[in-house]
Structure 1
Amino acid sequence: MSTTPEHDQRMATMTFASVYPHYVTKVEKKGRTKEELHEVITWLTGFDESTLQTLIDEKATFQRFFQKASLHPNASLITGMICGYRIEEIETPLTRQVRYLDKLVDELAKGRKMEKILRKG
């Protein structure tokens, strides 16, 4: 399934800081913690706490956020539907990466075990 150029541009220019509070609310409402959210973000991006906070403070766009990231080698194992799109069929790399993060947050909020979320054996 292809995304539109407008959709991809919106993903690229959206700031991580504008979405992050929604991630926190979503996981905490379902009984998970901010620390678990950070563990998932760190797994996907390689960011430590201070780098993550710096990107939030800088109001980094998702484009900058993922340019600075070192995507986990198992990120391609993140598959399935999110926001009406099948992740593995998204052609634009940045949009796919944003949807990887959305999917991980979704799995965390749904109570999936951390070892499954982090694609460990």
Structure 2
Amino acid sequence: MKDTSHHDERIAKMIFASVYPHYITKVEKKGRTKEELHEVISWLTGYNEKDLERILQEKDTFEQFFNNCTLHPNAKQIKGVICGYRVEEITNPITRQARYLDKLVDELAKGRPMEKILRQN
């Protein structure tokens, strides 16, 4: 796998609040809701609505976002290609976790059933 250290650093320093509106737009454009997006974020990270509000207000980076969460134990079941990278092969933890979230948002936008997105099978 090619060196992605610059890419990893860029993702870690990215502000979650700058990407969040794009997640909402993506899922709403495909007929899903902000509430469903929050359910997906909560499943992956353990964050509740109050936590999410604070993260958005304080402009946490993705590094802070993922370092302060409790990742769901089934997150490792998230597999596939996102942004040209196979999720399960990404070695940097913050980048892999950010891509987990991207993959879940994609699945939500594509209309996948919530129980499949939340790996409840």
Q: Tell me the TM-score normalized by structure 2.
A: 0.98
State the identity as a percent.
69
Partner deviation per Cα, 1:91-115 (whole Å, 9 max, x = no partner):
1011000000000000000000000
- Native 8 Å contact 1:2 1:91 kept in 2: no
Could you tell me how far apart the structure 1 residues matched to 2:2 and 2:41 are? 25
1:52 is the counterpart of 2:52:
yes
**Map of 1:104 onto structure 2:** 104
Structure 1 stretches lacking a partner, 5+ long? none
- Secondary structure of 1:74 counterpart: helix
Q: Deviations over 1:59-109 (max 9, x none)?
A: 000000001110000000000000000000001011000000000000000
Residue matched to 1:77: 77
Q: Which amino acid aligns with 1:19?
A: V
Q: CA RMSD in A?
A: 0.7
Task: Determine the C-alpha separation between the residues in 2 that align with 1:5 and 1:37.
Answer: 29
Deviating 4+ runs (over 3 angstroms): none
Deviation for aligned residue 1:3: 4.9
Q: Secondary structure at the match of 2:73?
A: coil
Question: Structure 2 regions of 5+ residues with no counterpart?
Answer: none
Q: Which residue of structure 2 lines up, in the alignment, with residue 7 of structure 1?
A: 7
* TM-score (ref. length: structure 1): 0.98
